[in-house]
């Protein structure tokens, strides 16, 4: 398109010229391939890394066309799109402003701002309450009931038994976090394409990856602990570099080692951005959990039948009230924490690999039923 002076901008190809890699006209070679809605193995949605062999759910050999709008008319048009014209929302704005990115789901398909990432998280929760809050509530309730029973049973146990029980509680809590991070990665990735998914379908997609996700999570904790031994700052640096490993593992079908490398590569050059957004999301979730905790403490302190004056000795009823408070806090905060990691993963791939082009193509294929 010509600018106000009738000249073609140097960074914008003419009607017959090829689009540069990563532009709106063509995807980066070897970039992510669009996901399908079904399947039962491999990488959920086919989020292959550049150079990774195609595969995963859907048709053999990968996911449809290489993606992107083709001015020559080689791609099937969007609904209501004339042949040879860009999809709705792809045209340049007035006065030569940058093109408006398509938004088939909870995020626009372009590099995201902090506000758009946070808005995408809450939009995903609103659009998929059953697969986010409902799933988190149901699974957390089961785990919290087991933990409460363990705590009640271990009230007067010996020191050795208490250590064993505390270890068991830690393992249950960690397993809960690992399970929810894997399932919510699928939910958020679908929401980015404008699709809703049930809790059962999300669990089925994530299930083949949960075993390796446990190994991956242990590796992240151990490597973070090694950084902690060196310096607290080192632990934070390592944790941020590996913070995108879970979505890379679940969505790309990577190996554990490959997911760690992918996270490192995606965060490299954007460490402070990933750290800052993760910290902000952590503060939002932490404040919500703190509010629930304060309410729970007030309730426990209001009655001698629930706890003593120092809240160190809870009755059975007190343990139940405390468990309900913990359950509510977990249900609210977990989708925020997990959703932030997934949207940061998508954002970094958009910035480094032109993922927005192929995501738009995937959404177009879904909208046309192809």
Residue 217 reports pLDDT greater than 50: yes
pLDDT of residue 198: 92
Confidence of residue 365 (pLDDT cuts 50, 70, 90): confident
**Pair 262, 220: CB distance under 8 Å:** no
CA 211 to chain centre: 18
Region of poorest pLDDT, from 192-201, 246-255, 297-306: 297-306
Pick the residue with more confidence: 265 or 231? 265
In terms of residues, how long is the chain? 370
The CA dihedral of 222, 227, 229, 234, to the nearest 10 degrees, is: -160
- Rounded-to-integer distance, Cα 215 and Cα 259, Å: 11
Q: What are the tens digits of pLDDT across the range 252-303?
A: 988 999 999 999 999 999 999 999 999 999 999 999 999 999 999 888 888 8
Residue 363 reports pLDDT greater than 60: yes
- Rounded-to-integer distance, Cα 90 and Cα 54, Å: 28
pLDDT of residue 83: 54
* Mean pLDDT for the stretch of residues 325-350: 92
Residue 249 reports pLDDT greater than 50: yes
**Pair 277, 347: CB distance under 8 Å:** no
pLDDT of residue 82: 54
pLDDT of residue 286: 93
The tokens for 170 are 């830690």
Bridge partners (DSSP) listed for residue 307: 314
Confidence of residue 153 (pLDDT cuts 50, 70, 90): confident
pLDDT of residue 346: 93
State the maximum Cα–Cα separation within the chain, in Å, rounded to a whole number.
84
Q: Hunting for tokens 């372009």 — which residue is that?
A: 110
Q: What are the tens digits of pLDDT across the range 56-97?
A: 433 333 333 334 444 344 445 554 555 555 555 445 544 445
Pick the residue with more confidence: 157 or 239? 239
**Pair 163, 99: CB distance under 8 Å:** no
CA 2 to chain centre: 39
Domain coordinates of the chain in residue numbers? 114-235, 264-369
Residue 215 reports pLDDT greater than 50: yes
């Amino acid at each position: 398109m010509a600018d106000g002076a009738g000249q073609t901008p140097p960074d914008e190809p003419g009607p017959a010229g090829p689009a540069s890699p990563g532009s709106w006209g063509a995807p980066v070679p070897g970039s992510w391939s669009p996901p399908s809605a079904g399947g039962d193995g491999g990488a959920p949605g086919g989020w292959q890394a550049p150079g990774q062999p195609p595969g995963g759910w859907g048709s053999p050999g990968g996911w449809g066309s290489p993606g992107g709008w083709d001015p020559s008319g080689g791609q099937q048009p969007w609904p209501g799109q004339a042949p040879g014209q860009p999809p709705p929302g792809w045209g340049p704005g007035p006065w030569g402003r940058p093109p408006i990115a398509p938004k088939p789901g909870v995020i626009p398909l372009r590099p995201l701002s902090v506000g758009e990432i946070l808005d995408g998280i809450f939009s995903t929760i609103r659009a998929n309450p059953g697969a986010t809050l409902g799933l988190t509530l149901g699974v957390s309730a089961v785990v919290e009931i087991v933990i409460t029973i363990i705590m009640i049973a271990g009230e007067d146990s010996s020191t050795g038994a208490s250590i064993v029980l505390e270890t068991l509680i830690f393992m249950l809590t960690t397993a809960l976090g690992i399970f929810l991070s894997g399932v919510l990665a699928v939910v958020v990735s679908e929401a980015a394409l404008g699709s809703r998914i049930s809790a059962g379908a999300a669990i089925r997609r994530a299930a083949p990856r949960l075993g390796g996700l446990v190994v991956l999570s242990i590796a992240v904790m151990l490597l973070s602990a090694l950084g902690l031994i060196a310096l607290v700052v080192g632990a934070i640096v390592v944790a941020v570099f590996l913070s995108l490993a879970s979505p890379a593992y679940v969505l790309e079908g990577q190996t554990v080692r490959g997911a760690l490398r992918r996270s490192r590569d995606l965060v490299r050059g954007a460490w402070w951005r990933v750290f800052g957004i993760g910290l902000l999301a952590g503060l939002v979730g932490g404040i919500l959990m703190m509010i629930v905790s304060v309410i729970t403490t007030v309730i426990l302190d209001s009655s001698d039948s629930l706890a003593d004056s120092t809240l160190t000795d809870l009755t059975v009823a007190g343990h139940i009230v405390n468990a309900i408070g913990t359950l509510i806090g977990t249900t609210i905060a977990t989708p925020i924490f997990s959703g932030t990691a997934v949207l940061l993963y998508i954002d970094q791939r958009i910035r480094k690999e032109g993922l927005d082009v192929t995501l738009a193509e995937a959404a177009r294929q879904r909208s046309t039923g192809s």
